[in-house]
Chain A
Amino acid sequence: MSSNGTPQEPTTPDAATPPASESVTPVGAVSPTDSVSPADSVSPTGTVTTPTGSVRRPKATGLATGEAVPGVAKTDPIMVIDNVTRRFGGLTAVDVEHLEIPRHAITALIGPNGAGKTTLFNLLCGFDKPNSGTWSYDGKNISGVPSFKVARMGQVRTFQLTKALSLLTVLENMKLGSTGQKGESLWASVIPAIWRKQDDEIESKAMELLTRFKLDAKADDYAASLSGGQRKLLEMARALMSDPNLVMLDEPMAGVNPALTESLLDHILDLKDLGMTVLFVEHDMHMVRHIADWVIVMAEGRVVAEGPPEQVMHDQAVIDAYLGSHQDVDLGVVTGRIAGELDTSAMELLEEIEEEHEAAIAEAEEENK
């Protein structure tokens, strides 16, 4: 797998070829001239191998056409959202004026709980209907288009609560993901001659993907027998069966252990190398910083900031709304439960806590008098 830098397919002689949208492009070999990333921020060697052996891949830059403010125009947007609102009774869950999702990049959608991230997700893939607004995908207006048609256009999603089809085998789950199957029409289904050949092709493609996601040994087991992490992998692999252009992942790392997170991260980076666009919702800031090329921050239904991850993490609005001012401080060290170096920000936090503590004591004494 890509985590050890070895492509599972024989490397193509010309590594500089831009990745095609086929699923068998070697994933370990990322070239500096990758069409996805303009060369300005990429080191001359293109890839950097970290001590742990994983390949650090260059981030896509130059995605926006101006200063990174909410609603900034992108050089090549795959999705353009205009004036989308969704209200639940008196609560405005989503109120986005203008937003563009860059193509061939990994975009993270972050924000506090209840910020409207998942609601926006559901709207964009047709699972929910907005109160107002339009959005387009690949230049086509898809507002009001039902979810299954949106999916057929090459925009697939996964769910926050994993939806593995429990009493279907893993392989059946995978085969279901393929679109345009002849045997899925009722009349054709009675005559196997019509769909048998296509079904075999789908099966070999499914096995290939399962091997990539290390689920091939489980192919004949019910999906219900998979662990939570394996179901996440299955859901992602299943989404890839349709050769999508835009993959939307709703909290792909929720409830996944660190080692599996690592491999999921690599899979997401692979998607980008294969020429897909990824939009994902996530709470883990380390992960967002690690893989996202672009970050969109939502709070109370609005987009409050967007930009490259490093820039967004230092945006005051983002810190106030979401991250908190001491996001990098280890709480254990501050409270003295764990021995460790206190850096300046930790000292500040400690002072702040002590001040509050003293103030509280003073207040209590005041009341006692």
Chain B
Amino acid sequence: MDFGQIFNLSLGYLFSPVTLAYALAATGLAVHFGYAGLLNFGMAGFMAIGAYGYAISILSFGLPWWVGIIIGMIGASIFAVILGIPTLRLRADYLAIVTIAAAEIVRLLFTTQLFDEWTNSADGLGGYHADFRSANPFPPGTYGFGPWTYSADQLWVRVFGLLLLGIAVYLVWAIMRSPWGRVLKGIREDEDAVRSLGKNVFAYKMQALIIGGVFGALGGVVFALPSAVVPALYQTSLTFFIWTILLLGGAATVFGPVVGAVIFWFIMAFLDALLPAMASAGILPISSIQAAILRFILVGVALMLIVIFRPQGILGNKRELTFVK
């Protein structure tokens, strides 16, 4: 086995658009679940809307790339409102059921032949990069070192993604330390109590759902920026990867989602390289294709172990663990 190559591949994921995209989506989910207590199992739907909103705006309507991003964000806000109006008055578990179904509806709508003209159905979208790349402030050339060697285009995607993530993390930090965040955390604990104190609980939950949804859409945009929009990626499993990241890092923390995403993708990439290599070296008694699937099983096991043994996550407050209901 070539451990040098395995580590090189894994380290590359520490700073990749995929990691940044997942971190953004997990930050959105932290607003939903960590701070507002909203069980959103439809993050893949928000990400799909962001990615398709960006790609369709450019490909079908010829809009500039930054307008595409704004359209993706608006799309996610509308999706949040549509989801929220019927469900936010109900208990949190109903939101979970509705969001998981709504995300599937979104994915199937993007995949159906009916809108082939815009969505290219199951084949997905690509070739929308020119405009974004033309805005690249970096002159052509090679940047970085070792596993982090990038072309100018690759660097631009990463820097832009990092910028969005930075803004998202800053916003979460700023609003969660404010009285607004206090109300939101109160709603997470007991919304009737907060209602009895004169707060419009529904409005707060809706605002949280929209903010988190917009972060999810931005994650979708960053996901789509360097490569293509592939509808098969926006399945329920994507939602659960985001959940794993969130719980790994710490649900009600500002940097938890970022830390979670980095660790998650490092381990995923490491296993992706290691397990097939082990299989072909005869250490694992399975084929290398089976070995590549094995990592998803390990992710599931990891998620269970986190929830059972460290429910507050890596960055979560230790005191909180004492009072887990």
Contacts and interface: CB of A to CB of B under 8 A. Distances in A.
B150 to A, nearest CB: 33
B197 A222 contact: no
Interface in A225-243: 225, 235, 238-239, 241-242
A148 B199 contact: yes
B195 interface: yes
A125 B192 CA distance: 12
A190 B178 contact: yes
A335 B200 CA distance: 55
Contact of B179 (A147, A149, A159, A181): A181
Nearest to A179: B198
Interface string A205-246: 000000000000000001011000000000100110110000
Given A184-B180, A224-B323, A159 B196 contact: yes
A45 to B, nearest CB: 39
A185 interface: yes
A341 B303 CA distance: 68
B180 A151 contact: no
Nearest to B199: A148
B193 interface: yes
A176 B323 contact: no
A234 to B, nearest CB: 11
Given A159-B193, A190-B171, A148 B201 contact: yes
A222 B323 contact: yes
B2 interface: no
A156 interface: yes
Contacts of B1: none
Contacts of B175: 186, 189-190
B324 to A, nearest CB: 9
Nearest to A150: B198
Interface in B165-214: 171, 174-175, 178-183, 185-186, 188-190, 192-201, 207
A188 B320 CA distance: 29
Question: Main secondary structure on chain B at its contact with chain A?
Answer: helix
Contacts of B199: 148, 176, 184
B197 A238 contact: yes
Nearest to A147: B195
Contacts of A190: 171, 174-175, 178
A225 B323 contact: yes
A179 B174 CA distance: 21
A184 B179 contact: yes
Contacts of B197: 151, 156, 176-177, 179, 238-239, 241-242
A176 B195 contact: no
Interface string A128-152: 0000000000000000000111011
Contacts of A182: 179
Contact of B196 (A125, A168, A175, A199): A125
Nearest to B176: A189
B211 to A, nearest CB: 8
B200 A148 contact: yes
Contacts of B188: 167
A35 to B, nearest CB: 27
B192 A165 contact: no
Contacts of B194: 165, 176
B190 A163 contact: yes
6 contacts: A149-B198, A158-B196, A159-B192, A167-B188, A176-B183, A176-B194
Interface of B: 171, 174-175, 178-183, 185-186, 188-190, 192-201, 207, 252, 319-320, 322-323, 325
